[in-house]
Structure 1
């Protein structure tokens, strides 16, 4: 039991938060409210899975919030133009993938640092989204798009189904595939990974494409909820995506990833937001709470950080074999 708690340290604080909220408000533990929390957490966890790979690689992507906006307006505009739902969804995901590819190429081939490259992309994509809509909402009424959030296969809300599938694939990739080991190896020591023969640049580009695609999925889910696209959607979402990953225990400096931790991080954030809503807390303070959670998670990681000198050996174990 103690070993399990050490592997998933966020579990105990999450339980404590839920106990406090159940005492503070009578409506927190109702079935409908808990389902709302899980749906919101699932929507946040999906891009969190992709961001987990990025942080495990020792990098991050600040453009995901802008990607949410642009992919949402592309999808809704395509629907307004009379395109079938599958085509509209494909176009939105393609836009997300292209944004991720652009980030990866600029970072790996032009040598621009991830912070500067994705910050620039964030501004460019946000501007493109506003220009594309001319500042106007792209309002739709699409049952097919609505199914992404409102559908209930086997009685389970669709976002939860998607998050479970994403978590299963993410866990399997990180723990059972060469790609997952290579991502963590790059985060541990990029130079050593290069010397071991790993295709470092291709892996980094693939991870950024994955993050771009997840931003596209996030944009589709938000547009499905609101039934509209808007150039202002997704503001600050990059903070949420990074926070759930760090809160879940993935090392900010790379080399280690926790998919289960990311899931719990999403549940933690949405539980707190839900509780603050039930307690009639102003939205501004909800944003403050996310920032405080990020600071607390970083402080905890710094406190619990293992000997950095041993990390490259652990993360690169077996990499030469995999690359051979």
Structure 2
């Protein structure tokens, strides 16, 4: 049990929240409601897995919420124009990849810090999304697109199938490939990684493309749920994507990642949101809860670093005396 808690520290907080909500409302521990929580968590976890690589690299992408909006608008507009579903999906994912590529090039080739570069992209892409949609909903009725969220292959909701497959792929890439090791090496010490001969810029660009593509996929899932695209969709989504990664145990400053932790972080956040909904809590408090979770996770990591420093300092002094 102790080993499990070390590998997945969110298990205990998640169980605590589940017990509290089970006592607070009879509607929580029902099969349909648990499925709703897992579906919502799967939709958030998919971009969170991509963001895990970005944070493990010591960087982050603030533009993912705007990417959600533009990808959804492009997909729905293509369907309205009579394009096949496959073309609409490819366009949305392509939009995300291009946005990620632009972020990667600006950060690596122009030397702009990730915060400024992706913040600027957030504003630009949001403006493009509003201009492209003309400020109007792109309403559709597409059974094929609806399948992304409403489908049930072998009786399992499609978002759960997608996140299980994505989690397995992300875990393998992070823990069993050179790419994952290189990402963490760059997050630990970028200059040392460069001196060691790692293709640092190419890896950074590839990670931004991955995040952008994941943002496009997120936009498809949201448009699948709502059956529409809108220039205002995705507001604040960047906070969700970063929060599930940070509370899941990935180091904000890079060098360490937890794929399973990211998925558990998504489940924890969506469990809390679901419980607040069942308790008729105003939506504003759901955003507050996400912000508080992020602060708590960062504060806990700060305390752990302080404790580690306090323990290590006397040992170093003893060794040198």
Q: TM-score, normalised on structure 2?
A: 0.95
Do structure 1's residue 139 and structure 2's residue 139 form an aligned pair? yes
CA deviation vs aligned residue, 1:122-163 (integer Å, no higher than 9, x gap): 000000000001100000000000000000001000000000
CA–CA distance in structure 1, aligned partners of residues 7 and 225 of structure 2: 34
- Pairing 1:81-100 to 2, within 5 Å after superposition: 81-100=81-100
CA deviation vs aligned residue, 1:100-135 (integer Å, no higher than 9, x gap): 000000000000000000000000000000000110
CA–CA distance in structure 2, aligned partners of residues 24 and 56 of structure 1: 37
Do structure 1's residue 54 and structure 2's residue 54 form an aligned pair? yes
Q: TM-score, normalised on structure 1?
A: 0.94
Count residues with an aligned counterpart: 309
The alpha carbon displacement at 1:4 in A equals: 1.6
The residue number in structure 2 matching 1:30 is 30
CA deviation vs aligned residue, 1:26-46 (integer Å, no higher than 9, x gap): 000000000000000000000
The residue number in structure 2 matching 1:220 is 220
CA deviation vs aligned residue, 1:257-315 (integer Å, no higher than 9, x gap): 000000000000000000000000000011000000000010111122356xx9xxxxx
The residue number in structure 1 matching 2:290 is 290
CA deviation vs aligned residue, 1:158-193 (integer Å, no higher than 9, x gap): 000000011000000010000000000000000100
CA–CA distance in structure 2, aligned partners of residues 229 and 197 of structure 1: 44
The residue number in structure 2 matching 1:152 is 152
CA–CA distance in structure 1, aligned partners of residues 64 and 118 of structure 2: 9
Give the SS at the match of 1:270. helix
Where has structure 1 moved over 4 Å in runs of 4 or more? none
The residue number in structure 1 matching 2:316 is none
Give the SS at the match of 1:251. coil
Structure 1: runs of 5+ lacking an equivalent: 311-324
CA deviation vs aligned residue, 1:76-101 (integer Å, no higher than 9, x gap): 00000000000000000000000000
- Pairing 1:302-317 to 2, within 5 Å after superposition: 302-305=302-305, 306=308
The residue number in structure 2 matching 1:42 is 42
